[in-house]
Amino acid sequence: MKKIIPVVILLAVLAYILPALLVRLSLFFDRGDKQVSVDEKEKILVFPPEFDVTFEATNSASYKLSGYSQKGETIEIFINGISKKKVQISPEGSFEVEIKLYEGENEIYAIAFDKNKNKSDKSETATIFYKTGKPKLELETPSEEKSTASKRNIKIEGKTDPEAAVRINERWVLVKSDGSFTFEASLADGENKFQIIAQDEAGNSTESLRIIAYTPN
Tell me, what's the pLDDT at 35?
Answer: 45
Average pLDDT, the chain: 87
Over the stretch 106-131, which tens digit does the pLDDT of each residue have? 999 999 999 999 999 999 999 999 99
pTM above 0.85, yes or no: no
Mean pLDDT along residues 38-45: 59
Tell me, what's the pLDDT at 38?
Answer: 44
Tell me, what's the pLDDT at 161?
Answer: 98
CATH of the domain spanning 50-130:
2.60.40.10
pLDDT at 133 over 80: yes
Pick the CATH number of 137-214 from 2.60.40.10, 3.40.190.10, 3.30.390.30, 3.30.1490.190: 2.60.40.10
19 pLDDT band, cuts 50/70/90, is low
Burial environment of residue 25 by CB neighbours within 10 A (0 to 12, 13 to 18, 19 or more): exposed
Tell me, what's the pLDDT at 207?
Answer: 98
> What 3-state DSSP class applies to 21?
helix
194 pLDDT band, cuts 50/70/90, is very high
All structural domains of the chain with their residue ranges: 50-130, 137-214
Over the stretch 51-83, which tens digit does the pLDDT of each residue have? 999 999 999 999 999 999 999 999 999 999 999
In Å, how far from its chain's centre is CA 59? 16
Number of H helices, E strands in the chain: 1, 16
8 pLDDT band, cuts 50/70/90, is very low
Cα(202)–Cα(152) distance, integer angstroms: 36
Mean pLDDT along residues 154-166: 98
